[in-house]
Structure 1
Amino acid sequence: MSPNQRVKGLSLKVGPLGENDRLLTLLTEENGISRLAIPGARKPRSRLGATSPFNFLDLHIVGNKDLKRVTQIKILKSYGNLGKHIETLSAAQAISELIIIMVGNENPQKDLLKLVLIHLNRLDDLHKIKFDSLQALAISVQSCIHLLALGGYCLPLQNCCHSGSKLIAPIGEWSWKCSFIPEEGFAIGGIPNASIELNPSELALLQRLLLEKLPCHSNGKLLGPKYVWLKLLKVVEAWIATHLQKRITSLQMMREVIISSDLNTK
């Protein structure tokens, strides 16, 4: 980052820095993740004090040292609606957590910011219609799968990790199983001590999540019941924990909220 620069980026995290300042974790197309000081942002009536997570910002940055300073902030878009529901907030926070784990400081990732904004916009749009927690769960699962693929940790959904044969889900053959082994991938058949077993429909749904759009029926209704999406969430969580050596706490929160809401409606 040059000594004097104007950048556009997404605020992933905002925390205290010293007595009066804030520390901003920013995702930009040009620089990947940057950590920037916002001087005086914690003072009353500070013109830089309105920064919060999940704002798309236009910033003026100065400084030659490792921790550069923000001198001007303009909010281009606020994703404040994400906080209206725990499910959308958890999904957004999971995106932020995963990015911070995968992307190094000042390490540009082509198309990452664009991808993140696509998924945040989808989550943000959920408040415009009758809210559906299943949609939030599905967007959360797909956003993690897309981010993992872009970051080089793609779920190996094309071939059996044992035989190398194509993973083609035989829809309707309910005796067919695919075993998920977090350290290796997906193996055709029932494997002793496998983490999760998927039937043909579940595997096919998981494979479709690599595509751009969520899988839906012709009437626009999301494919798959809630228990299947929770199962796919478990696959994603196990893959991240194994290959990134981290657990995404926001995904755990998502799971707990969804399960709790189901119990409360019974």
Structure 2
Amino acid sequence: MIADRTIKGLCLKVGPLGENDRLLTLLTHEEGIVRIAVPGARRPKSRLAATSALTFLELLIGGKSTLRRARQIKVIKSFSKLGEKLETLSAAQALSELAMLLVGTNDPQPEILQAVLIHLERLQKEDIKPVEALANCVQACVHLLALGGYGLPIQKCCWTGIDLIPPIGDWTWRCSLIESEGFAIGEITNAEITLNASELALLQRLLKPILPLKQTGELLGPMKVWMKLLRVIELWIETHLNRNINALSMLKKILL
């Protein structure tokens, strides 16, 4: 037996466990991904019945190390407003899915948890526009992939090693995504994604802490460009993590 102790974590997923219990999948600072049983949580009058995904929780846990059980649960922060719009909910679910791919059990990666919390807060902003939700999702994926060791190599040509410095204003310049390697200068035959100079420059700016904005405060880049960058993210994840992020596909369908 392990002594009861307190942990904090973001609930990424909630599922049934037996007849009356729930199983929480949490992203924590100390242990990475952990799974905690919540006894009786599916009973209507249970004091633990309010557990849900996309909440930052403090839990008193105990029991066997193979599957610990929650004794008490306190909600520190709820991101329930994300469910009010399909695009923000899909974006948030995409971040949850990606976090679960990047972080393992007994694999503490506090930077990833902090990044997810920051981006969920941004997605929950009042009056967020669909294109802003998409852009936030794309940037969040760029950040999480970099923190998890699968960052997009967007600074040098993957074939020549030449710096990728997009010549803004030259509308003939192109670079192509080679899914297994990165971006190569030029228009490569059979490449699914080809970016012009402005599109690559926008992608490179996503490594910064905040989204690129115009002087007016509006988001830089139209919906069609953000959709293109989302496809870059999808292809990179499919190739390097060998998985599809279902919520990214849902986000595209919602915004099309």
Q: CA deviation at 1:238?
A: 0.3
Match of 1:123 in 2: 123
Q: Distance in 2 between matches of 1:212 and 1:191?
A: 31
Match of 1:264 in 2: none
| Letter of the structure 1 residue corresponding to residue 99 of structure 2 | I
Q: CA deviation at 1:106?
A: 2.0
Q: Distance in 1 between matches of 2:111 and 2:220?
A: 27
Q: Distance in 2 between matches of 1:3 and 1:227?
A: 53
Matched, 1:66 2:61: no
Q: Name structure 1 gaps, 5 residues minimum.
A: 260-266
Match of 1:227 in 2: 224
Match of 2:201 in 1: 204
Match of 1:77 in 2: 77
Q: Deviations over 1:146-203 (max 9, x none)?
A: 0000000000001000000000000001111011111111000111111210000000
Q: Name structure 2 gaps, 5 residues minimum.
A: none
Alignment check: 8 A CA contact 2:173 2:196 kept: yes
**Percent same amino acid at aligned positions?**
58
How many equivalent residue pairs? Answer: 256
Match of 1:176 in 2: 173
Alignment check: 8 A CA contact 1:160 1:187 kept: yes
Match of 1:263 in 2: none
Q: CA deviation at 1:65?
A: 2.9
Deviates more, 1:205-214 or 1:63-72: 63-72
Aligned partner of residue 15 in structure 1, secondary structure:
strand
Q: Deviations over 1:8-49 (max 9, x none)?
A: 111000000001100000111111110010001011210001
TM-score by length of 2: 0.98
TM-score by length of 1: 0.94
Q: Deviations over 1:224-262 (max 9, x none)?
A: 010000000000000000000000010000011110xxx
| Letter of the structure 1 residue corresponding to residue 186 of structure 2 | G
| Letter of the structure 2 residue corresponding to residue 245 of structure 1 | N
Q: CA deviation at 1:64?
A: 2.8
Q: RMSD across aligned C-alpha pairs, in angstroms?
A: 1.1
Q: Match for 1:253 among 224, 246, 250?
A: 250
